[in-house]
Structure formats: C-alpha cells, structure tokens
A and B are shown apart, each in its own frame.
Chain A
Amino acid sequence: MTSIVFTENGNGNGSLSSLNYDNLLTYAKGIAGIGPVWDKTELPIYDSGAMTHILKESKIKKIIIAGDEPGMLKPFLSKAMSLVGEDPGKVILVNFKEHGFFTNESFELAKTLLLFAIKDIPFEKVLVPEEHNVNKDTLVIGAGIAGIQASLEIADGQQKVFLVEKSGTIGGHMAMFDKTFPTLDCAACILTPKMVEIGQHDNIELLTYSELKSVTGSPGNYKVIIHKKARRVNLATCIACGICSEKCPGKASSDFDAGTTQRKSIYIPFPQAVPNKYMIDENSCIYVENGKCGVCVKVCPVPDCINLDEKDEDVEINVGNIIVATGFKTFDAKRIDQFGYGKYPNVITSLELERLVNAAGPTGGFIKFRTQNKKKNWIFSPESDEPKSIAIVHCVGSRDENYNKYCSKVCCMYSLKLAHLIKEKLPEAEVSEYYIDMRAFGKGYEEFYERIKNENIHIIRGRTAQVDQNGSGLIIRTEDIEKGLLIEQKVDMVVLSVGIEPAEGASSLAKMLNLHQDINGWFSGKNYISDPTSTISGGISIAGVCESPKDIPDTVAQASAAASSVLQSIMKVKTT
C-alpha cells in the first residue's frame, strides 16, 4: 500500500501558497489503488510508537509526503518505517514549493508531480532531448560572467554558441565592480580577458542589444526568434574613434555607472566594452525624437557607418540547447521611505559607491559628495568634497517581510569589501557598518571579516531604522544590539547595501521557456540539491544569479556546470 501524507495546509502558518490543498487531498483519495491519504494533523507523526502501529495496521510499504516543506517530516516517517521493518528509503518527497507551485494555476502540475511519485518515476526524467535529434548549436541568454563563462566553455569544446545580450556590451554587473571579495582582486582584470576572448572566438556569435522574442520547438530543437534593436551604428565599420560622441548634444544618465554620471546619446558603455563599438540610445537621441540633428553622421569619418534611420529587426536561429543566465537587478532603495534614498543626495546605493571607488568611474576613483551640476542634475564629479564619515547599512530590501524575505547572500561581503575600499581611499574617514547578522560563509570570507574588523572600522550589530537629513549631514538611528543602546550617529554619507532581485523580464522569459520560478521569482532547477542547473524544460539550463543569489565564484562554477550538461547532450548525439 502506498499512502500519502499532506504536510501543509495552504492557508497555514507562514505559507504563502494558495494552492488548494483540500482539492488536492480529494484528488489523491480518488487515485486508483492508493492507500490511506492523510493530512499531517491527522497523524501522531512525532510519536513513533503510535506511528508504527498505524503503518502496520494499514500495511504501508511506501509513503509520499507532499507539501511545501515535506522534508521536515521525512526523518520521523523514515524512522517509523524502519521500526515496522519496511524500507525507510521508500519515503518519497513531493515538494510543491521547489517547483514554484504556489497558485491554483499550478494545480494540474501539482497533480502530475504526485502521480510521478506514486509511479516511482523521477520527475527529472521529463523532457530529455532525444539522443538522435539534437541540434548542436547552443543559445546563451545574458552575457554577464555566467553567460560568458558558459559560452567560452562550450565554444572551446568546438561547438557553436549564440550569445544574446540585452545591453550594448557584454560584461554584466561584474564589469561594474571595482574589486572582488575576499581576495580584493581587480574585477576587470579577471573579466576583460574573457570578454575579449568572447569577441574574438570563432565559435561564438555575439548578438548584443538584442532580446528573445519567441521560442518554439522541442528539447533538442528550438527555433528562437531574436529581436535585434537598432544600434544605428554599423558594427563592422565603426572604428570607435569617438568623434561622434564628442560632438553629440544629447545626454542621459549612464547605466554602466549606475546613474552616477552623464553620458552622450551616442556612446560606448565603457572603454573596455565588447563589441567596442558606439551605439545610439534612442530615448535621448535628438534625431530620433524630432528628426533634426544628425551631427554624428556629419562628423563620422567612415562613410555610411552611422545610419540614424536603422530599424529593429528579427533574426531566426535554430539551437538544441539553451542556457539562461539573466542575472539580477539591484533592489530599488527608493521603496524604503525611511532611508530617504532619492530624497537626500548623499544617501547612495552600494552599486553607486562601487562606481565611485573605481578608477574608471565618474570621479576617477575618489569618493566624493553627490552635487548638482549646472543643469540641476545630481551627479558625482571629481571637483566635489570628500565625506569624512560614512555609514554602511546592510540588508536594504533583504530579509524584510515588507520587501524581500530572502537573504541576498552577497551584501555582507561586498559591504565589508566596500568598507575596506573606503578606508583605502580615505584613511582618515570614520567608517561604520550596521548589520543584522554577518554572513561570511565562504572560503576565506570569515578571515576577510576578521581582517576588516582590524582596520579601524566600527562594525555595529543592529538594523538601521531611519536616515534623516540634519543640515548638511545625515543622522542615522540604530539600536546597538550588543550594548542595548540607541545610537544616533551623524555621518556625511550613507551607503545602502541593496539586495538583489531577479532581472527585469525574468517572468516573461520564464513563460516563454516554460521555466518554473520560486516564490521570489528565481528560476527553479529540477532539483535544488542534486540538479540545480537543469530545468524541467528539457534542453534548457539555468546558471548564475538568475537561479538564486550567489557570489562570483559560485556563479562561475554553476555556469561551467550548465555548459557541461549542454556538452553532454551534444556528445550523446548518435551519428548515423
């Protein structure tokens, strides 16, 4: 007899699931040949004596635990099974949460998952590409460090890769960072050689400024339509001389510099960009707006290089495997009213500070106040003054029921790194860190934390509640938990260590590729523990932060893992 135990009442304590468990229970009871179906509350689960009695009475050989967190009950039921002399391995988990089944839209999927468990078929077996029918080309979505790593590994394995990137250059967030923790290596020194390799690789076709439009077909044979936005500059002929940008009258805030400075409408995102070619931002280009400008065309030394009337186009490609590496976006600190981001100019985000401390950043690597330029735009300029005291506030938008409940995993470490970099640039400045729990979890991280502690930085336990402007300075209120005292500290600059969220458009991509997202919007692999990179859509893998928050070493490792599964599926192809 197989019995089913339901662990979670959908409306139960702490569960966000609105899956109708009552209907699921009724459905399970109706399955032919099924043994008793219980709700957790009906069983004396923690009393192994009573449990063995029940198991013996109903002659149960296999138990399926279904719910949001079925693993919680497994030890108790396995013990009871072994006590009655049954195989304790026959306690099977059906985890709805892991597959992102939260609403009644996923009701049919939840039923399927249950049936797979009853029939002893691993759910992971669904949708595996057929061996003789795999297109050897691969599509990689997103060209951050994960996409770059995966593309290089596949391309080095002599297989063709299409690398699609939304922005005008590859590199992603890592290109914006100054140093990496815990080794304090220069991020660009690690990343740019890889970027150049991508640009020069024979097996990689780079599609920047492009997005996925539609995906059809089946595992091993996908037809993908890619929407190429008009770059308006010919990639083949542009010599990146920069004359166009010099003369261009249009301006907009720079995405690459996290909005800390202004760039022209015809621009190159950053000097090491790949492809190292100019592009036009249609939102700020005066010609695109009213048809009257065209200065760039006049000054460009290469004939027909700039075509201001270029239109978007769609490209169709056929691939066998897809790797999704769409990464993240940072939490919008404006959402937290009491921190005053966007209201007080010198409350800045960690990403903005990351650009400030970078030698190629808006201030040439000096930490300066944010000031207004002549056109009343708030920017950082090398001429402003330097702050004398800086506070770093952890967990902004993370571990917070009002915003994101999860830990963003990287903020503690990058905050420590930023504290170190501030001390390096401004040795006299007073630097304070306010944290809830210090999560230094990786190789060399705890040592890094110990090192920072000895760098004359105040590391205070307590979540900052409020930031207020006081004259030209800022006042922050925090309780020092270890001393039990309320602290009101006057500082010149507050850095908000913002958490990370799934990238813009992750949900629409998930619909297009039939990926499952967890409750926070991160993509779910087939099995979080043992198969995190493959998804239930066959031939589609996920890598990097789009799967869950992680640091650079983990991202690179996961990208390599995804690449290996793609290569594996290509190697399996039977040649006839």
Chain B
Amino acid sequence: MIQRVNPNLKKDLLKLGVKDWNECFHCGNCTAICQLTEEDSLNPRKVFRQAQLGLKTSLQANISPWMCYYCGECSDTCPRDANPGELMMSLRRYLTSIYDWTGLSRLFYTNKFMEFAAILGLATIVILLFAIWGPPLDPTLTSEGGVKINSFAPIKWIELGDWSMAVVVAALLISNILNMFYKVIIKPGVKIPLSVYATELWKLPAHFATQAKFRKCDTKGKYYWGAHWMMMTGYTIMFILIVVFLPEFQVEEIYDWWHWQRLLGYYSTFGLLFGLIYVIIGRIKQNNQIFKFSHLSDWLFVIMLFMTTVSGIMLHLFRINGMPYATYYTYIAHIAILIPMICIEVPFSKWSHLAYRPFAIYFASLKKAASEKQYKTGLAAEIA
C-alpha cells in the first residue's frame, strides 16, 4: 500500500499531549520486554516508526495503543528514555479523537476551556431542570426513619432520564466503534470471512469482564490488574443498578445490611474508592512509571468519578439516617456530577476505553483468525 507521509501529523499529535517521539532509535527493547507483544496487534516500536514518519493512515489503523495496559516496563528499561508506555497512553487520546466523528472529543482534549464549559454547562442544565420542575421537599420520614426519596425523585422520571442518557451515550459510542471498525478493518482492506466474526465474538464480553490480558502485566510485584478490575466491576455493577434496576435500587425501605441490594452497593463503593485512592495517590506522588505524566483529562476523569462516589456515599448515609434536606440537595449534586461525567467521559474522553479496548482485542483476533484461515485454505489448495 502506498502511503503519503503526512507532515502535519506531528503537530496534530503534539496538540493532544503526545510526548515527542524522536528519542527512539529503534532498538526494539520495548517490543521485546512487553509481555503482550503480538505480531500485527501490539508492537510499540512500530508505533514509534509510524509517528516518526508521519504515516497517518497506518497510525489510525493501528490498534496497538489499545492492546497496551501500561505496566511501564518499556519506559523503565528504554535505553533512550523515549517513554514508549506514555506514547501509547497519549495515542489512545489521539485515537479516541479520531474515532469520534462529532469532533467534540478533539475539542475537549485540546481546549481546556471548552472541556470545563461542557462539564459545567451540563451540570447547570441538571440543576436548572430540578429547579424548574421543583420537586416536593417532604421533611417527614418513613416509619423506619428513612427519607422519602421517591417522593422527591419519582422512579419513573429518573428512569426516563437514565435511559435517555444511556441511549444517547450508547448511540455515540456505537457510531464511534463503527468508525473505528472502518479505520482498522475496512480502510486498510483486511478481508475477513463472515464466519470469523461469529466465532471470535465471545472474546468481546470475555475480555470486557475479565481483562485477562492485563494480568500478564502484573510482573515484578505489580498488582495493577486487581485494582483496575475492582474499579471496573464496581462501576459496572453500579451502572446496571441505577439504569436497569432503579426500582429495586432507589428505595425508601432501609434493608438489613446483608440484603443483596446493600451488599452490591457496598462492594461497588469499596471497589471504586480503593481503585480511585490508589490512582490519586499515585498521580500526586508520581511514584510509578504509569503515573508520571498526567494529562488534564486523566485528572478530570479521576476527580469526577471520585466526587460521584463520595456524593453517592453521602446520599446513602443521609437517607438512612433520616436527614431529608441534606438527602435532597445531595441527590441533585450527585446527578449534576454524574450526568456530565458519563456524557463527556464515555463517548468523548478517557472512559471510552471501556469499549475500544475489548473491540480492539476483537478486531485483532478477527485479523489473526482470518489470516490463519487464509493460510490453511491456501495450504489445502496447495496440497490439492
């Protein structure tokens, strides 16, 4: 395939906070030290090459950044201090902005003002909606001494809001994934038999749920996989609870602590807090390769998730301890942080990796399976 060198790629990448990649002298140390290196799907050195040469099309079709979980070994041992791990991290930002057809992702990544404006704007809309609607602030308590939360925020309205948010976010994310599919599979002209799409499909949920590849990065006494998995499962459970099981989750009864609803909630909260505190301390102290460089989007993601978690815990405590006004106002604050976080982070920013990573693994296995199949049929034809 003939490709034009794109001299503007460098400017483009620098804008998205990609560190300069000219230090690399192509010794291949990063590729060899990486436990996840796989032909065609993960090769950090080739990413450097594409960035250095300005091969825009190749870089956009490259899924290597998503296959990397950033253990930091490559950066630690790089003889040129070229920070391959950080290049992969920042290229995930670039790819996110490339997959996003609306252009908002790029806008938020490159323009701090617009990012804050979007977050604050959405939060203001949430608060205004509550103000216009004017829900009743009922000071009386239930017979158990809990706050009458459902009189303040009726399930059906909140559910409607939840589902409309979920639909908008999912629509954006799915369209972005289709764009990614176009860039990774269609545009480079990879031929994949239809049957392979079906046989490899199981990898999508499997990798989403287990993140099994990430476990290989836990060498030399690192426990990144565990911390990340707890955070991920914590959030996924909470998300399913608030969107799908809202009637069971937002209740006025005060259940015993061993009730499934409370146990799941506590697990999620613990998982989120544990992971978040680990990341926040790491990012402040910069004590580890993976926390050395923090982009604004990294910080915003962590801070907003932390605020959501803390306001959720407060909301729970206020409700069961019968503090009606505190409960109502915290509820508004909780929603006012949650909505911008999901609407901005999931389709346009750091959180999009929840979809891009499993899909990258899926696409990688599609390519691999297709080439194997092609090889086998070629072999069969040769034998015949």
Contact = CB atoms under 8 A, between A and B. Distances in A.
Which 10 pairs from chain A and chain B are nearest by CB? A479-B28, A465-B32, A463-B27, A400-B79, A465-B33, A479-B31, A462-B28, A401-B81, A477-B32, A436-B27
A15 interface: no
B81 A463 contact: no
A401 B80 contact: yes
Contacts of A477: 32-33
A484 interface: yes
B78 A486 contact: no
A425 interface: no
A338 B79 contact: no
B80 A463 contact: no
B216 to A, nearest CB: 13
Contact of B32 (A400, A401, A466): A466
A524 interface: no
12 contacts: A400-B79, A401-B78, A401-B81, A402-B81, A463-B79, A465-B29, A466-B33, A477-B32, A479-B45, A481-B27, A485-B39, A486-B31
Contacts of B46: 484
B43 A484 contact: yes
A221 to B, nearest CB: 47
A337 to B, nearest CB: 9
Contacts of B27: 395, 436, 462-463, 481
Contacts of A484: 39, 43, 46
| Chain B interface mostly | loop
Contacts, number: 60
Interface in B23-60: 25-33, 37, 39, 43, 45-46
A463 B43 contact: no
A351 B80 CA distance: 26
Interface in A434-485: 436-437, 462-466, 477-481, 484-485
A59 interface: no
B111 interface: no
A132 interface: no
B79 A462 contact: no
A111 interface: no
A486 B32 contact: yes
A463 B25 CA distance: 11
A466 B78 CA distance: 12
Contacts of B37: 479, 486
A463 B32 contact: yes
Given A462-B27, A465-B31, 10 more contacts: A338-B33, A395-B27, A399-B79, A401-B78, A402-B79, A464-B32, A477-B32, A479-B28, A484-B39, A487-B32
A465 B27 CA distance: 9
B286 interface: no
Contacts of A437: 25
Size range of the interface on B? 10 to 19
B236 interface: no
Interface in B66-89: 77-81
Contacts of A402: 77, 79, 81
A343 B229 CA distance: 34
A480 B39 CA distance: 12
Nearest to B79: A400
B50 to A, nearest CB: 12
Contacts of B80: 401
Interface string A407-438: 00000000000000000000000000000110
Interface string A328-340: 0000000000100
Interface of B: 25-33, 37, 39, 43, 45-46, 77-81
A226 to B, nearest CB: 41
A82 to B, nearest CB: 32
Given A338-B77, A401-B81, A402-B77, A481 B29 contact: no
Contacts of A481: 26-28, 45
Given A484-B43, A485-B39, A479 B78 contact: no
Interface of A: 338, 395, 399-402, 436-437, 462-466, 477-481, 484-487
Nearest to A478: B32
Contacts of B32: 462-466, 477-479, 486-487
B32 to A, nearest CB: 3
Nearest to A437: B25
A478 B32 CA distance: 5
Nearest to B33: A465
A429 B46 CA distance: 33
B68 to A, nearest CB: 15
Contacts of A462: 27-28, 32
B222 to A, nearest CB: 14
A167 B211 CA distance: 58
Contacts of B79: 395, 399-402, 463
Contacts of A466: 32-33
Of residues A466, A478, A479, A487, which shows the largest number of chain B Cβ atoms within 10 Å of its Cβ? Answer: A479
A187 B80 CA distance: 35
Nearest to B32: A465
A499 B154 CA distance: 73
Nearest to B42: A486
B28 A478 contact: yes
Contacts of B30: 465
B186 to A, nearest CB: 23
Contacts of B33: 338, 465-466, 477
B208 to A, nearest CB: 26
A465 B43 CA distance: 14
A486 B39 contact: yes
Contacts of B25: 436-437
Nearest to A13: B20
Most B CB atoms within 10 A — which of A338, A463, A481, A487? A463
Contacts of A338: 33, 77
Contacts of B39: 484-486
A437 B28 CA distance: 12
Nearest to B28: A479
A463 B82 CA distance: 15
